[in-house]
Amino acid sequence: MTHTSDYDLVILGGGAAAFAAITEASRRDLSTAMVNTGLPIGGTCVNVGCVPSKHLLAVVENGAAAAENPFDAVRYPEEPTVDWADALDGTNELVERFRQENYVDVAEHFETDIYEGYGQLVDDTTIEVVDGADEGAHITGEKALVATGSSPWAPPIDGLDDVDYYTSETILEERDLPESILMLGGGYIALEWGQILHRVGVDVTVLQRSDRILSDMEGQLGREMQRAFEEEGIEVVTGNDFRRVHASAADGGAEAIQSGVAVETTVDGTERTITGDALFVATGVQPNSEGIGLETVGVETNDDGTVHVDEHFQTTNPDVYAAGDVIGEPELETVAAKEGNHAVKNAFGNEGVSIDYDAVPAVVFTSPEVAAVGTTEREYMDEHGTCSCRTVQMEDVPRAKAVKNTDGLVQVVKHHETDEIVGVHMVGPRAADMIMEATLAVKVGLTVDDIIDTVHPFPTFSEAIKQACQAFRRDTSTMSCCIE
- Residues forming contacts to ligand FAD in the complex (CB under 6 A) are 12-18, 35-39, 43-45, 49-50, 53-54, 118-119, 147-149, 168, 189, 288, 292, 324-326, 331-334, 336
Q: Closest approach of Cβ 43 to ligand FAD, in Å?
A: 2
C-alpha distances in Å from residue 414, one per residue of 173, 211, 359, 378, 436: 45, 26, 14, 13, 17
Tallying the residues shown for the chain, one arrives at 484
Phi, psi at residue 353, to the nearest 5°?
Answer: -90, 145
Closest of 179, 144, 123 to residue 35, by C-alpha: 144
Question: Read out DSSP for 336-379?
Answer: HHHHHHHHHHHHHH-------GGG--EEE-SSSEEEEEE--HHH
Closer residue to ligand FAD, CB minimum distance, 22 or 157: 22
Q: Closest approach of Cβ 118 to ligand FAD, in Å?
A: 5
Residue 119 pairs in a beta bridge with: 129
d(CA 460, CA 15): 36
d(CA 83, CA 28): 48
Q: Closest approach of Cβ 201 to ligand FAD, in Å?
A: 21
Closer residue to ligand FAD, CB minimum distance, 38 or 159: 38
Q: What is the C-alpha radius of gyration for the chain, rounded to an integer number of angstroms?
A: 24
Q: Closest approach of Cβ 41 to ligand FAD, in Å?
A: 7
Q: Closest approach of Cβ 307 to ligand FAD, in Å?
A: 11
Closer residue to ligand FAD, CB minimum distance, 144 or 326: 326
Closest of 211, 215, 281 to residue 245, by C-alpha: 281
d(CA 467, CA 476): 7
Closer residue to ligand FAD, CB minimum distance, 39 or 371: 39
Closer residue to ligand FAD, CB minimum distance, 31 or 148: 148
Q: Closest approach of Cβ 400 to ligand FAD, in Å?
A: 24
Closer residue to ligand FAD, CB minimum distance, 46 or 448: 46
Closer residue to ligand FAD, CB minimum distance, 16 or 483: 16
C-alpha distances in Å from residue 444, one per residue of 285, 355, 466: 31, 13, 17
Closer residue to ligand FAD, CB minimum distance, 13 or 260: 13
Strands 32-36 and 113-116: parallel
- Is residue 236 a contact partner of residue 183, using CB atoms and an 8 Å limit? no
Q: How many CA atoms lie within 13 A of 446 on its CB side?
A: 23
Q: Closest approach of Cβ 129 to ligand FAD, in Å?
A: 8
Closest of 128, 137, 106 to residue 25, by C-alpha: 106
Q: Closest approach of Cβ 347 to ligand FAD, in Å?
A: 16
Q: Closest approach of Cβ 127 to ligand FAD, in Å?
A: 8
Closer residue to ligand FAD, CB minimum distance, 246 or 312: 312
Q: Closest approach of Cβ 15 to ligand FAD, in Å?
A: 2
In angstroms, how far is CA 473 from the centroid of its own chain?
A: 35
Closer residue to ligand FAD, CB minimum distance, 205 or 366: 366
Three-state SS letters, 68-118: HCCCCCCCCCCCCCCCHHHHHHHHHHHHHHHHHHHHHHHHHHCCCEEEECE
